[in-house]
Amino acid sequence: MQAGKDQIPKDKVQSQNPGLKDEEKAFDFKSLHFGWFVGHALAVLCCGFFVISNLFFHPLGFFYRAAYLGIVASYGIVLWNSYKPLTNNEFDYKRVLLDENTQYLIVAVFFLFSTRIAVTLIPFFIYSVFHVLEFVNTDLIPNLAPHQTKMQSTINDIITKYHDKSMALVAKIEVCGVMARLVLGLFVFQSSVLSVLVYTQFLRMRYYMSGYTREFLNELGTKTDRALTPPTAHPKIPPAVINAYATLKEKLNLGAQPIPATTAKKTL
C-alpha cells in the first residue's frame, strides 16, 4: 500500500465543479471521508499515549486496542466505500481479497484481538501520520483556515520529502521488526504459531504487491544467500541449517514474479 497516496480517499467533486454553491462546498463532518480521517487520527493519538505509558513502565492496553480500532475503522471505510458489498450485484471477492487495504485490515483485526505486541503498531502509525497530514492539508485547512497557505506548503513539503523514505522504513520494520518479534516470541511463549503463519502470508503478499517490501526482501535475501548457501556459506554453519534454509526459500517462493497490486480507488 502506498500510504499517503493510494489509500487516501479523496473527494474530487469540489475541484472538478468550481461552480458549486458555497453550502455545497462546505466540509461535511458526517461524511465517510471524515470518519476515515477520525480513525487514522485516533490511531496516531492512541499510539502516542501508548508509547508514553510504556516510557513510564506502565503500558496501558486500552490505548493499544483503541489505536487498532481506529485503524480497523479506517480501512473498513475505504473497502466499504470502494466495493459496497451489500449493494453491488457484481461483487468480486477475489479482487477484494487481493486489495492491499484488505491485507492490512485482516492483519489489524488479528492483532486487535490477539496478544498485545507493541511493535506491530509502528507500520500502521507511520501510515496514519501521512493520512492525517494529507487530510489536514487537502480538506481541513482549505475549509477551516483557507488563509493558511504557508502551512499547507509546509505539510506538502514534509509529505513529499519523507514519504518514500518512510515507506521503505515500514517495509524494514514489517520484516525485521514485527516478523522477527513474532518468531522470537515463539521461544518465550509471547506469540503464537498462528500469528507467525498469518504474518508470513501477509509478508508474502506484500512481496508481490509492494516495491518497497520486494526491494528490501531481495536485498536481505542476497545477503542471507551469501551466508547460508554454498560455496559462500560459512564452513562452521551446520549442513542441516543450510538445507532448512533452502527448503524454506523454496516454500516461500520469493523468486516468483510480482503480481499487480489491487488498491481500492475511492471518492468518499
Position 165 scores a pLDDT of 95
Which grid cell is 156?
A: 506538502
C-beta separation of 212 from 170 below 8 A: yes
Considering the entire predicted model, what is its pTM?
Answer: 0.80
pLDDT in tens, 63-112: 999 999 999 999 999 999 888 776 766 777 788 888 999 999 999 999 99
pLDDT at 41 over 90: yes
pLDDT in tens, 107-165: 999 999 999 999 999 999 999 999 999 999 999 998 888 888 899 999 999 999 999 99
Q: Residue 135: how many CA atoms within 13 Å on its side-chain side?
A: 24
Position 7 scores a pLDDT of 58
Residues 6+ apart with CB under 8 A from 145: 151
pLDDT confidence tier of residue 260, bands split at 50, 70 and 90: low
